[in-house]
Amino acid sequence: MKLEIMQLEQLPVHTGRVIQVFGHEIALFRLGNGKIRAVENRCPHKGGPLAEGIVSGDYVFCPLHDWKICLADGNVQSPDTGCVKTFQTEIEENRIYIMIEPQEQGERRESLVPEQGLVNQK
Protein backbone atom coordinates (compact mmCIF):
# COMPACT_ATOMS: atom_id res chain seq x y z
CA MET A 1 0.00 0.00 0.00
CA LYS A 2 1.30 3.44 -0.87
CA LEU A 3 0.67 6.13 1.74
CA GLU A 4 1.28 9.83 1.53
CA ILE A 5 3.30 10.99 4.53
CA MET A 6 4.09 14.66 4.21
CA GLN A 7 5.27 17.48 1.99
CA LEU A 8 8.93 17.35 1.07
CA GLU A 9 9.64 20.72 2.71
CA GLN A 10 8.34 19.41 6.04
CA LEU A 11 11.39 17.15 6.19
CA PRO A 12 14.66 19.14 6.47
CA VAL A 13 17.86 17.56 5.15
CA HIS A 14 19.77 15.56 7.80
CA THR A 15 17.02 15.83 10.44
CA GLY A 16 14.93 12.74 11.13
CA ARG A 17 11.20 12.77 11.82
CA VAL A 18 9.06 10.18 13.54
CA ILE A 19 6.09 8.68 11.67
CA GLN A 20 3.47 6.44 13.25
CA VAL A 21 1.57 4.13 10.97
CA PHE A 22 -0.02 0.67 11.42
CA GLY A 23 1.56 0.38 14.83
CA HIS A 24 5.01 1.00 13.37
CA GLU A 25 7.16 3.81 14.57
CA ILE A 26 9.24 4.84 11.58
CA ALA A 27 12.20 7.21 11.35
CA LEU A 28 12.07 9.22 8.13
CA PHE A 29 15.16 10.94 6.73
CA ARG A 30 16.11 13.18 3.82
CA LEU A 31 19.72 12.57 2.86
CA GLY A 32 22.26 15.06 1.54
CA ASN A 33 21.80 13.60 -1.95
CA GLY A 34 18.05 14.21 -1.83
CA LYS A 35 16.99 10.59 -1.30
CA ILE A 36 14.32 9.75 1.29
CA ARG A 37 14.94 6.82 3.64
CA ALA A 38 12.60 5.16 6.12
CA VAL A 39 13.60 2.66 8.81
CA GLU A 40 12.05 1.34 11.98
CA ASN A 41 12.71 3.89 14.75
CA ARG A 42 14.43 1.43 17.10
CA CYS A 43 18.13 0.71 17.27
CA PRO A 44 18.62 -3.08 17.60
CA HIS A 45 21.04 -2.40 20.46
CA LYS A 46 18.95 -0.73 23.20
CA GLY A 47 15.95 0.56 21.25
CA GLY A 48 17.36 4.07 20.73
CA PRO A 49 15.23 6.45 18.64
CA LEU A 50 17.17 6.54 15.36
CA ALA A 51 15.24 9.59 14.13
CA GLU A 52 17.26 11.70 16.57
CA GLY A 53 20.65 10.47 15.33
CA ILE A 54 23.28 12.34 13.31
CA VAL A 55 22.84 11.57 9.60
CA SER A 56 25.87 11.26 7.35
CA GLY A 57 25.85 9.93 3.79
CA ASP A 58 23.61 6.88 3.80
CA TYR A 59 24.12 6.26 7.55
CA VAL A 60 22.58 7.29 10.83
CA PHE A 61 24.41 7.17 14.19
CA CYS A 62 22.15 6.08 17.05
CA PRO A 63 21.87 8.90 19.62
CA LEU A 64 22.16 6.55 22.61
CA HIS A 65 25.38 4.61 22.00
CA ASP A 66 26.56 5.71 18.56
CA TRP A 67 25.85 2.51 16.63
CA LYS A 68 26.20 3.15 12.90
CA ILE A 69 23.31 1.94 10.79
CA CYS A 70 23.00 1.89 7.00
CA LEU A 71 19.71 3.50 6.00
CA ALA A 72 19.66 1.80 2.59
CA ASP A 73 19.60 -1.80 3.80
CA GLY A 74 19.12 -1.41 7.57
CA ASN A 75 22.36 -3.21 8.40
CA VAL A 76 24.26 -2.31 11.54
CA GLN A 77 27.89 -1.56 10.65
CA SER A 78 30.82 -3.44 12.15
CA PRO A 79 31.99 -4.10 14.75
CA ASP A 80 28.37 -4.16 15.95
CA THR A 81 25.84 -6.42 14.32
CA GLY A 82 22.13 -6.53 13.65
CA CYS A 83 19.59 -5.10 11.29
CA VAL A 84 16.61 -2.72 11.34
CA LYS A 85 13.59 -3.00 9.10
CA THR A 86 13.59 -0.65 6.12
CA PHE A 87 10.66 0.69 4.09
CA GLN A 88 10.51 1.79 0.44
CA THR A 89 9.76 5.46 -0.18
CA GLU A 90 8.95 7.62 -3.19
CA ILE A 91 8.82 11.32 -3.97
CA GLU A 92 6.11 12.55 -6.32
CA GLU A 93 5.33 16.19 -6.95
CA ASN A 94 7.09 17.24 -3.75
CA ARG A 95 5.19 14.74 -1.63
CA ILE A 96 6.74 11.86 0.26
CA TYR A 97 5.14 8.40 0.06
CA ILE A 98 5.90 5.19 1.90
CA MET A 99 5.18 1.60 0.83
CA ILE A 100 3.78 -0.37 3.75
CA GLU A 101 1.36 -3.22 4.29
CA PRO A 102 -1.30 -3.07 7.04
CA GLN A 103 -0.52 -6.59 8.28
CA GLU A 104 3.08 -5.63 9.08
CA GLN A 105 2.60 -4.88 12.74
CA GLY A 106 5.49 -3.02 14.31
CA GLU A 107 6.64 -2.84 17.88
CA ARG A 108 5.17 0.21 19.50
CA ARG A 109 7.19 2.40 21.80
CA GLU A 110 5.00 3.14 24.78
CA SER A 111 6.37 6.46 25.83
CA LEU A 112 5.48 8.21 22.60
CA VAL A 113 1.84 9.17 22.21
CA PRO A 114 0.49 9.62 18.66
CA GLU A 115 -0.38 13.14 17.65
CA GLN A 116 -3.35 14.06 15.60
CA GLY A 117 -3.12 12.81 12.00
CA LEU A 118 -1.76 15.28 9.49
CA VAL A 119 -2.24 13.49 6.19
CA ASN A 120 -4.52 11.03 4.52
CA GLN A 121 -4.24 7.93 2.44
CA LYS A 122 -3.95 8.47 -1.26
Partner 1 sequence: MKKRKLCLVGNGMAGVRCMEEILKLAPDLFDITIFGREPHPNYNRILLSSVLAGDADIRDIVLNDWNWYEQNGITLYTGETVTSIDAEQRNIYTDCGRVESYDDLILATGSLPFMLPLPGIDKEGVIAFRDINDCKTMMEASKTYKKAVVIGGGLLGLEAARGLLNLSMDVSVVHIFDNIMERQLDPVASKLLQSELEKQGIRFLLEKQSAEILGDTRVTGLRFADGTAEEADLIVMAVGIRPNAALAQESGIEVKRGIVVNDYMETNIDHVYAVGECAEHRGTVYGLVAPLFEQGKVLAKRICQMDAAPYEGSTLHTKLKISGVNVFSAGEFMDTSDTRAIRVHDEWEGVYKKVLVRDDQVVGAVLFGDTKDSTRILEMIRTNATISELQRVAILQNLSSSSGASELDYVAAMSSDEIICGCNGVSKGTIVEAIYEHGLNSVEGVKKCTGASRSCGGCKPLVANLLQCVLGDQAQTSNQKEPICTCTTLSRDELVREIQEKCLTSVREVMHVLDWTEPEGCSKCRPAINYYLNMVFPELHEDERESRFVNERMHANIQKDGTYSVVPRMYGGVTSPAELKKIAEVAEKYQVPLVKVTGGQRLDLLGVKKEDLPNVWRDLDMPSGYAYGKAIRTVKTCVGSDFCRFGTQNSIQMGIDIEKAFERLDTPAKIKMAVSGCPRNCAESLIKDIGVVGIDGGWEIYIGGNGGVHAKVAQLLCKVKTNEEVMEWVGAFLQYYRENANYGERTSAWMERIGLSSIQRALENTETRRELNYRIAAALGVLSDPWQDIIQKENIRQLFENVAVNV
What distance in Å separates the CA atoms of residue 52 and residue 50, rounded to the nearest whole number? Answer: 5
Closer of 26 and 86 to partner 1 (Cβ): 26
Query: Which residues is 70 bridged to in the sheet?
Result: 59
What distance in Å separates the CA atoms of residue 29 and residue 12, rounded to the nearest whole number? Answer: 8
**Residue 11 DSSP symbol:** S
* Shortest Å distance, C-beta 106 to partner 1: 12
* Shortest Å distance, C-beta 70 to partner 1: 13
Structural contact between residues 106 and 22, judged by C-beta atoms closer than 8 angstroms: yes
What distance in Å separates the CA atoms of residue 39 and residue 98, rounded to the nearest whole number? Answer: 11
Closer of 22 and 85 to partner 1 (Cβ): 22
* Shortest Å distance, C-beta 78 to partner 1: 5
Closer of 28 and 86 to partner 1 (Cβ): 28
* Shortest Å distance, C-beta 93 to partner 1: 18
Chain Cα centroid distance, residue 41 = 6
Rule CB under 8 A: which residues touch partner 1? 1, 3, 5-6, 10, 12-15, 17-22, 25, 32, 46-49, 52-57, 61, 63-64, 66, 68, 78-81, 102, 109, 111-121
